[in-house]
Every structure is written in structure tokens, then in C-alpha cells.
């Protein structure tokens, strides 16, 4: 074998090994996502032209008095598992990355966070591994609002270093907003962190983890008409004594299932639009 060919094969094998390490690091043994269940020859032999690599990112943080720390990850796991059931021939999924950027929740016990710089490196280097393994279409599905700023920076950096690769980011509550608004009853101010939407979804997915005797409306925007239009980073405890925003008391499992279905439908459409070169 020629030296150049040997180096090329070694570099390719390192890329496959890198992505398998990442998949194993970020997920558990019972995680339903598929990439971590494959071996490197399987990944090498995939027809990647017809596939979108799905990289879900979430958090490990407090969700008020009534929801568990892993709420974002549980929700995103369910969404991506449902996507896999619907379009498993079009996607290859990483396990959900449960550690995100959650500095603003750290005054409430149990929350874990990566520093922003660390988080951006995690995002960029995970996608680097996917690209090195041959995937040229990657969709990062975000399940936590605190990740959004880091994700934007990571997408910019990835475009600078991988100009010919298409890397997309989508926060599920953003892409599904019109559908979710048609289901919610509490309005925008009632559907914030651990509010109507997340509590409804958890009543569907893991009702055993929802402490319904602790449901309380809490939090809210500052009264200025410019709230939401002026950048101001603040901690959750500065606006909520319990750690939630909105009104979880109007949450129901029925609404949660409808919200999950609507969100998954939007995410499936995004995958189809990526493959159809409409995005």
C-alpha cells in the first residue's frame, strides 16, 4: 500500500473512532438513538447522501418544584425516537447530549452546566466528528433555550471551517411555534420554563416524575415594553422564586401528546426540506 493511501485510511478510521467515542460519551446504554449502536464499518458503508445526521442537545437543570432535572433530555429523547420511527431511513441519530449551558439555573441545587467556551467546543467538535465520518448534512436539534447562543456561534465556526457542509440548528419550540400556540391555553407568558408546554409533555412522557401537588404559576417578564427586545442576561432566580416561568396548572397529558406530535411533524418536515435542498 502506498504511504499516502495508508495515511488516508488511517485518517478516515480515526474519524469513525472519534464519532463512536462521542456517541458513547453522551448517551446511556438504553438510549434509543441508533448511531451509538452501530459499528464503524456500518457507519462507513452508509449511503450518506440520502441521510441527515441528527445531533440532539439538551440540558441537566432544575425545572421548578414539580419537574425533574432531566426534563429537557427526556423530551428531546422522545422527539428524536419518534422521528426515528417515522423516517428512520433518512436520519442517523446521536444520543442526546445532556450537558448544556445552564449557568442561569445554578442557584437552584442539582443543576449542571458547561462553561460557554466548553459548550461551543463540544458542539463544534462533535459535528467535526460527524463530518469526518462522511456526513455532509447535519441537523442539531436544540432542546434547551440556554444552548441557543452557543449553538449560533458553533454554526458560524463550522461554516468557516467546513464551507461545503450543510449544518443546521433548530430549537423545537421555535420551529413548532404556530402549532404549539394553537394548542396552548396559557398564552406566551404561561408557557415558559417548566410552564404549560413542558409540564404537559412530561405528563405524557413521564407522569411518575411530575409532582402535581407542587404546580404553581411563577416568573414573568419585566414590565417594560422593551422586554424581550433589549439584550439582558439574567439568572432564573432573579425573576422566579420557584424556578419556573408560566402556568403549569393548566397542563394536561392530552395537550402534551398533541404538542409532541405537532413538534415531531415539524422536525420531520425540516429533515425532508434539507434532503430536498429546500433549506
Q: Where are the domains of the chain?
A: 8-275
Q: Look at 91 and 223; give whichever has higher pLDDT.
A: 91
Average pLDDT over residues 237-258: 88
What is the pLDDT at residue 221? 66
What is the pLDDT at residue 9? 44
SS (H, E, C) the chain: CCHHHHHHHHHHHHHHHHHHHHHHHHCCCCCCCCHHHCCHHHHHHCCHHHCEEEEEECCECCECCCECCCHHHHHHHHHHHHHHHHHCCCEEECCCECCCCCHHHCCCCCCECCCHHHHHHHHHHHHHHHHHCCCCEEEEEECCHHHHHHHHHHHHHHHHHCCCCEEEEEEHHHHCHHHHHCCCCCCHHHCCCCCHHHHHHHHHHCHHHCCHHHCCCECCCCCCCCCCCCCCCCCHHHCCCCCCCECHHHCCHHHHHHHHHHHHHHHHHHHHHHHCCCC
What is the pLDDT at residue 226? 87
What is the pLDDT at residue 5? 45
What is the pLDDT at residue 230? 84
Average pLDDT over residues 116-129: 98
Average pLDDT over residues 87-95: 96
How would residue 103 be classed by pLDDT, with cut points 50, 70 and 90?
confident
What's the chain's average pLDDT?
Answer: 87
What is the pLDDT at residue 233? 75
What is the pLDDT at residue 25? 41
Q: What is the pLDDT of residues 175-217, one digit of tens each?
A: 999 999 999 998 766 688 989 999 999 999 999 999 999 999 8
Q: Look at 12 and 236; give whichever has higher pLDDT.
A: 236
What is the pLDDT at residue 227? 75
Least confident range of 3-12, 28-37, 41-50, 211-220: 3-12
What is the pLDDT at residue 110? 92
Architecture of domain 8-275: 3-Layer(aba) Sandwich (3.40)
What is the pLDDT at residue 222? 67
pLDDT of residue 73 exceeding 60, the answer is yes
What is the pLDDT at residue 190? 66
Least confident range of 16-20, 146-150, 183-187: 16-20
Q: Look at 12 and 255; give whichever has higher pLDDT.
A: 255
pLDDT of residue 167 exceeding 60, the answer is yes
Q: What is the pLDDT of residues 268-278, one digit of tens each?
A: 999 999 999 99
Percent of the chain with pLDDT over 90: 71
Q: Look at 231 and 190; give whichever has higher pLDDT.
A: 231
Amino acid at each position: 500500500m502506498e504511504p499516502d493511501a495508508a495515511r488516508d485510511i488511517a485518517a478516515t478510521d480515526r474519524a469513525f473512532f472519534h464519532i463512536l467515542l462521542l456517541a458513547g460519551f453522551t448517551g446511556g446504554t438504553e438510549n434509543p438513538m441508533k448511531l451509538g449502536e452501530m459499528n464503524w464499518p456500518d457507519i462507513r458503508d452508509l449511503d450518506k447522501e440520502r441521510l441527515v445526521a441528527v445531533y440532539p442537545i439538551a440540558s441537566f437543570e432544575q425545572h421548578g418544584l414539580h419537574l425533574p432535572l432531566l426534563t429537557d433530555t427526556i423530551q428531546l429523547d422522545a422527539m428524536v425516537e419518534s422521528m426515528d420511527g417515522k423516517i428512520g431511513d433518512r436520519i442517523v441519530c446521536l444520543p442526546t447530549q445532556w450537558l448544556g449551558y445552564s449557568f442561569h439555573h445554578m442557584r437552584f441545587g442539582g443543576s449542571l452546566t458547561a462553561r460557554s467556551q466548553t459548550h461551543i467546543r463540544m458542539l463544534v467538535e462533535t459535528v467535526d466528528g460527524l463530518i469526518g465520518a462522511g456526513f455532509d448534512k447535519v441537523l442539531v436539534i436544540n432542546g434547551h433555550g440556554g444552548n441557543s447562543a452557543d449553538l449560533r456561534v458553533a454554526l458560524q465556526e463550522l461554516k468557516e471551517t467546513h464551507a461545503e457542509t450543510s449544518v443546521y440548528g433548530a430549537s423545537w419550540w421555535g420551529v413548532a411555534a404556530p402549532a404549539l400556540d394553537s394548542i396552548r391555553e396559557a398564552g406566551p407568558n404561561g408557557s415558559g420554563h417548566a410552564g404549560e408546554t413542558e409540564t404537559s409533555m412530561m405528563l405524557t412522557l413521564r407522569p411518575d416524575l411530575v409532582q402535581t401537588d407542587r404546580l404553581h404559576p411563577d416568573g414573568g417578564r419585566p414590565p417594560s415594553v422593551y422586554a424581550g427586545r433589549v439584550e439582558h442576561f439574567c439568572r432564573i432566580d432573579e425573576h422566579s422564586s420557584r424556578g419556573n416561568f408560566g402556568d403549569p396548572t393548566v397542563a394536561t397529558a392530552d395537550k402534551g401528546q398533541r404538542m409532541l406530535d405537532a413538534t415531531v411533524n415539524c422536525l420531520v418536515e425540516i429533515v425532508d426540506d434539507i434532503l430536498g435542498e429546500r433549506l
